[in-house]
Amino acid sequence: MIRSAAARASLGRVAGAGRRYVASSAQARARAAEPKQPVVVTDSIPGPQSKAILGRLGQLQDTRAAVLVGDYKQSVGNYLVDADGNQLLDLYCQIASIPVGYNNAAVLRAAQGEEMATTLANRPALGVFPSREWADVLEQAYMRVRPAGLDMVFTTAHGSDANELAYKAALMHYARTRRGAAAPTGRDLASAMDNEPPGAPHVAILSFDGGFHGRTFGALSTTRTKALHKLDIPAFRWPRAPFPRLRYPEDRFAAENAAEEARCLAETERLLRESAVPVAAVVVEPVQSEGGDRHASAHFFREVRRITRQHGVLLIVDEVQTGCGATGTFWAHEQWALETPPDMVTFSKKMQTAGFYHTRALVPDQPFRNFNTWLGDPSRALLTRAIVDEVLARGLVDQVRATGAYLKSHLVPLAIRYFRVFDSVRGDGTLLAFDCTSPELRAELLHLMRLEGVNMGGSGDVAVRFRPMLTLTNAHVNVFLTRFESVLNKLYQKHWPR
């Protein structure tokens, strides 16, 4: 860790002046090696070291999106250390993708030693020459936490191709149910080579307004977040359904929200019935994350499942951001209490490997149809195994539920007290969010929070999303709350002085 005189000298400045929150001593163990609180040693973030490195990196890659330069050797637990020695409590976690803390001891153990080295140095084409250990790794890394009803797992490289390969499985299934036992005709095969129907058919994956499912061409055709994600890129003419825009607090807007969900469900059903391009599958996130942390009720999702079944359409649940415990259950869709499980569940991010769970019915009729050279990465699967071990052994999903409840219980009254800055506190587990009252205020808040030593991220136009590690404790929440109140007071003093 950074232990320079400058860093020590700065402690006073960043300790925060607001009300103090007290941690339960039972949770202190987990962060023994972490800083006790954030330390900010530069006047701006990125600081001078980060800027110098970004200047050099900018010769080789586009760095305009960079916030800071990480010093990952020095980072520990919930704290991200940057190239200038700033020690930030990280509630954003590499866009929601660090599961159990920087330099987690169990993950580091899995990253060392002969098994990892052999696996890294000999990357197989898994579909043709799988390793003798692969079935065991799949069992331990993925099947122990498989969603109910889904017995197989297709491993991929990242969330976008997890979704695309799930879409391909759905589209092949769709064609097979219509073709029946008949072989594809010569016209089917020839037209497929020409990118024309009937071989390359006009069949759709339906997604929801505000949904994000990745950036490659097929995934991007279902992504409906920002125009700049899609502009200038050809897309398939696939329909999009409206996603509920709920109002908060939920108990106050119960009737409006129910009506809004009913409206969206009716339109979804209409699209399944009447879409110009027939729909093979519906893809939906349990929480629209990039889209601005938009939620819907368990009832809404149960109805989506009911409607898809009724119309013979597959349901793909995209748990790339919500999976691996963040909402207080291992998979967010567990909270829907579905009668019939989804047909596929995709994952990535915190799992540190990507893929989709599926039923045996979704294996294509012939080999090599849903296929590529590497089919995932066995070395990263060893990390997934260690992460799942850690999550289960330490009961981190329960911890997420408890810590999230603690955090939310403080955010709700703060939203009332500081209503000019934020409202609409929402979410489950630690996958929480609130809306700022303007995009400009959000930018200001995120900037000030970083200078107070807390790294956070936005989603959509005005939301701030909490995407901490599963190892977040009430003590970390207290560190956050102290600094958050300090920033809220600064914003009030600046914009609404008495």
Q: Which positions from 384 through 423 interact with a copy of itself, judged by CB under 8 A? A: none
CB of 352 to a copy of itself, least distance (A): 6
285 binds a copy of itself (CB under 8 A): no
9 binds a copy of itself (CB under 8 A): no
Closest CA to 99 of 432, 330, 316: 330
Q: Which of 2, 11, 23, 66 binds a copy of itself (CB under 8 A)?
A: 66
Angle at 96 (CA atoms; ends 225, 393), nearest 5 degrees? 140
- Cα 293 to Cα 51, 90, 247, 306, 462, distances in angstroms: 31, 19, 12, 24, 10
Which x/- pattern over 99-138 shows residues binding a copy of itself (rule: CB under 8 A)? ---xxx--xx--xxx--xxxxxxxxxx-xxxxxx-xx--x
Q: 248 with 235: CB under 8 angstroms?
A: no
For residue 317, report the phi and psi dihedrals to the nearest 5 degrees. -100, 120
**Catalytic residue at 318?**
yes
Nearer to a copy of itself among residue 156 and residue 482 (C-beta)? 156
**Catalytic residue at 349?**
yes
Report CA Rg, the chain. Answer: 24
Q: 422-428 and 457-459: which strand pairing?
A: unpaired
Nearer to a copy of itself among residue 218 and residue 328 (C-beta)? 218
Q: 184 with 304: CB under 8 angstroms?
A: no
Number of residues that bind a copy of itself (CB under 8 A): 129
Rounded Cα–Cα distance for residues 190 and 396 (Å): 53
The catalytic position among 136, 373, 419, 461 is 373
Region binding a copy of itself by CB under 8 A among candidate stretches 217-225, 281-289, 411-419, 446-454: 217-225
61 binds a copy of itself (CB under 8 A): yes
18 binds a copy of itself (CB under 8 A): no
Q: 458 with 95: CB under 8 angstroms?
A: no
The catalytic position among 84, 90, 161, 318 is 318
Is it true that the peptide bond before 341 is cis, omega within 30 degrees of 0? Answer: no
Q: Which positions from 154 through 183 interact with a copy of itself, judged by CB under 8 A? A: 154-155, 157-161, 164-165, 167-168, 171-172, 174-176
Rounded Cα–Cα distance for residues 22 and 25 (Å): 9
Q: Is 356 helix (H, G, I), strand (E, B) or coil?
A: strand
12 binds a copy of itself (CB under 8 A): no
Q: 457-459 and 354-358: which strand pairing?
A: unpaired
Residue with tokens 């398939």: 236
Q: Which positions from 301 through 360 interact with a copy of itself, judged by CB under 8 A? A: 348-349, 352
231 binds a copy of itself (CB under 8 A): yes
Q: Which of 70, 211, 291, 404 binds a copy of itself (CB under 8 A)?
A: 70
CB of 496 to a copy of itself, least distance (A): 32
**Catalytic residue at 230?**
no
Nearer to a copy of itself among residue 190 and residue 254 (C-beta)? 190
Report, as residue numbers or ranges, the catalytic residues.
212, 318, 349, 373
